[in-house]
A = this chain, B = another copy of it.
Amino acid sequence: MKILLYNPNTSESITEKLYETAKLVVSSETTLIPKTAEKGFPYISTKVEAQITGTLVLEKLAKIHSQYDAIIIAAFGDPGLIPAKSLFNLPIIGLGEAAMLSACLFGKKFSIISFTNAMASWYEESVELLGLQSRYAGFRAIDGVNLTIDKIQSLQKKSLIESAKNAIKIDGGEVVIFAGAPLSGFKNIVQKEISVPVIDCAEAAAKQAELAVVMNKNTINKHKLPPKSSIGVDKNLSELISHKVDNGSK
């Protein structure tokens, strides 16, 4: 099966991190194809950026979706995920969605650890939209950190581990999610120092995508939405919405 690992951030270095981590866990029958957004933000961190990126994701996927069996939207707040699921006739998996649903297998309550408090409110909205409030032990971030996305894992290792330990001890977290694409692969570095299971977002997304492709067999609900005309909407997307083109994979 062919799975698109689509990074909706425009930073190539994040795509690489995601791909290096995810490719290690997929089955030998799976081809994982990384791709970086050409439009958008270097690193999405607000609801405004998520709104804008959500549309850019739909536009991009409208163009290329037919080449894949499943698509991962690889940013933790899952921009565009809910509409994409209803638009395309193939599994679409969000990085945050995958991480949180996977975490549920490993403990009653999961903690989300990130590198900036800016994300707290956005990520908590993801928890709410997933309906997982009662599995959620809380959010913790390292304080006063400049966003040098590429070096977070090396420079902030100690602070991130400290946050995870507080999440376990104080908040009662039984599983820890290091959230956000820039932290993919970090689990392999720190799992040994943390007493509960650590969830890696990239791993979770890749495995959930494989699961979804297999379980999606025989499901036929092409064009779930009625056709609709539009003005000034991206051509590929508009054609898809008006049912001029197909919405599934080849």
- Contact partners of A132 in chain B: CB under 8 A: 131-132
| Docked CA distance A199–B214 (Å) | 11
| Contact between A172 and B219, CB atoms less than 8 A apart | no
| Contact between A131 and B130, CB atoms less than 8 A apart | no
Task: Please tell me which stretch of A12-20, A54-62, A148-156, A157-165 contacts chain B, meaning at least 4 of its Cβ atoms lie within 8 angstroms of it.
Answer: A54-62
| Contact between A218 and B188, CB atoms less than 8 A apart | yes
| Contact between A105 and B93, CB atoms less than 8 A apart | yes
**Interface: A69 (CB within 8 A):** no
- Contact partners of A237 in chain B: CB under 8 A: 52
**Interface: A64 (CB within 8 A):** no
**Interface: A82 (CB within 8 A):** yes
| Docked CA distance A232–B118 (Å) | 24
Closest to A54 in B: B51
Give chain A interface residues in 204-250, CB to chain B under 8 Å: 204, 207-208, 210-212, 214-216, 218-221, 225-226, 228-233, 237, 241
| Contact between A233 and B39, CB atoms less than 8 A apart | yes
| Docked CA distance A48–B105 (Å) | 17
The total of chain A residues at the interface (CB under 8 A) is 86
Q: Given A86-B46, A102-B211, A134-B131, check contact A229 B51 (CB 8 Å).
A: no
- Contact partners of A211 in chain B: CB under 8 A: 102, 105, 207-208, 210-211
| Docked CA distance A196–B200 (Å) | 30
| Contact between B210 and A207, CB atoms less than 8 A apart | yes
Closest to A131 in B: B134
- Contact partners of A220 in chain B: CB under 8 A: 191-192
Closest to A45 in B: B228
**Interface: A4 (CB within 8 A):** no
| Docked CA distance A166–B125 (Å) | 22
| Contact between B215 and A47, CB atoms less than 8 A apart | no
Least CB distance, A53 to chain B, in whole angstroms: 9
Give chain A interface residues in 117-144, CB to chain B under 8 Å: 118, 120-121, 125, 128-135
| Contact between A231 and B38, CB atoms less than 8 A apart | yes
Complex A-B: 29 CB contacts under 8 Å? A25-B214, A27-B210, A28-B28, A28-B29, A39-B232, A40-B233, A41-B229, A41-B230, A42-B228, A48-B83, A48-B87, A51-B54, A52-B55, A102-B211, A105-B208, A105-B212, A108-B121, A120-B172, A121-B174, A128-B129, A130-B135, A191-B218, A195-B221, A197-B221, A200-B215, A203-B215, A207-B211, A208-B211, A211-B211
